[in-house]
Structure 1
């Protein structure tokens, strides 16, 4: 076993212990939580090692890095998740490899994803990215052709739809050809009433998920929690956690 494989195996084991302990503390079965390893900035060689170690879900946030990496690893039994803010001019490329887009936050993006999914003959899973700090950046700066887009612009630089926009956007995804509404995603907010209160933030998203599932019962995925706060996400009820640094190490600085 190479040094890097030993390192990743050890890190994965530690993360697995954390998830298992969090599940036990929350009275949940370990099988209820899926680990997604965020491989952004790391090479295809690391993705290949992770696959050998049993990882089945990986995530990327920049198409220019993800597309060649996914192509290099196309022989592996992996599900690829796109978790970054997605520009519409990148949608065609992302649809080529992403099984799930976790950062759906506006109507124009839904339209673009649907068009490219149909063109590619694929079904793409979609999570609505929820911004619990929506409004903190000030008033909306206009829309992209929909009231949804205007509200989304209030959500700050990391993207996301505010809670009051979920129902409309969920209906749009559910009715879009080539797309599948899978659930919700969030990042613990840095501003607003939930800043520094990760578990409360995640519990709020679980409440929003419960509400959305009254209309869309199959959309039961909740992606929340990262290396620093996966325990709080598991305690709140998240079905998926996105862990990067705790598995792969401190990230190289991007040029």
Structure 2
């Protein structure tokens, strides 16, 4: 366990240095960027070690893994983020532990999240997931709504109880005009965020960047970066 904590501390320090350097290069303060550690496939024991090392934001992408882990770590001062594609039949569970849902990509999901949040007596921050590789009106291969659908979803969120439009999220596309161009993709997301905030001033979160491209995301103005393998190591194969 001590060796694992040392490993995590070393990896966190490297990631912190990357974020700090990217902020400095962009003329930003380090405090403008929140590190979210994506703990998918890793045990609750790692979450506890991360908390001991000062991590306050963790993320999961599968409810069947996240729900028991969040329950086991409910005594820790953590903000839980759900970052995976979300099916409506998992919403009630996710709303019981997640503080922020990054993957809102359809009105039906807004309705389900609202009902679940109200039932649980909770308020959920929700990000509209933007599929920069999507054709107009279609969802991208990793989920998400096309840029011209962002305003509708944000309006639906702010009209519903128990949820609020907190910003936007994207994953650097593997196809389309932004393939292999993460900085350009994140610049486009920042543009979308700026437009959204004109109508929803509180929707100021910009969730972008992972282990490979967090530097580009910070340069483009991301407020939250989602980092897994750079902190936790190469993920074990799922059986």
- Give the TM interval when normalised to the shorter protein: over 0.9
Shift of the alpha carbon at 1:180? 1.5
Q: What is the CA–CA distance in structure 2 between the aligned matches of 1:225 and 1:184, rounded to whole Å?
A: 12
Secondary structure in 2 matching 1:131: coil
Once residues 236 and 163 of structure 1 are traced to their aligned partners in structure 2, the CA distance between those partners, rounded to angstroms, is 17
Contact 2:125 2:164 in 1 (8 A): yes
Partner of residue 158 from structure 1, selected from 124, 127, 142: 142
SS at match of 1:5: helix
Shift of 1:132: 0.2
For structure 2, the 5+ residue unaligned runs are: none
What's the RMSD between the two structures over aligned residues?
A: 0.9
- Structure 1 runs of 4+ with >6 Å offset: none
1:227 to 211, 220, 228: 211
| Structure 2 match to 1:9 | 9
**Match status 1:125 vs 2:109:** no
Between the aligned partners of 1:156 and 1:187, the Cα distance in structure 2 is 10
Q: How far is 1:156 from its partner?
A: 2.9
- Give yes or no for the alignment of 1:199 onto 2:183: yes
Partner residue in 2 for 1:244 = 228
Structure 2 contact 132–140 (Cα < 8 Å) conserved: no
What CA distance in whole angstroms lies between the structure 2 residues aligned with 1:22 and 1:213? 24
Deviation at 1:207, TM superposition (A): 0.3
Question: 2:109 aligned with 1:109, yes or no?
Answer: yes
For structure 1, the residue ranges without an aligned partner over 5 or more in a row are 141-150
Cα distance, 1:162 vs. partner? Answer: 0.3
d(CA) in 2 for partners of 1:6, 1:69: 22
- Distance in 2, Cα, partners of 1:223 & 1:36: 10
**Residue 175 of structure 1, aligned match among 156, 159, 165:** 159
Match of 1:55 in 2: 55
Report the 3-state secondary structure (helix = DSSP H, G, I; strand = E; otherwise coil) of the residue aligned with 1:134.
coil
The answer (yes or no) to whether the contact 2:140–2:146 under 8 Å persists in 1 is no
Q: Per-residue CA shift, 1:111-132, capped at 9, x if unaligned?
A: 0000000001000010000000
Report the counterpart of residue 67 of structure 2 in structure 1.
Answer: 67
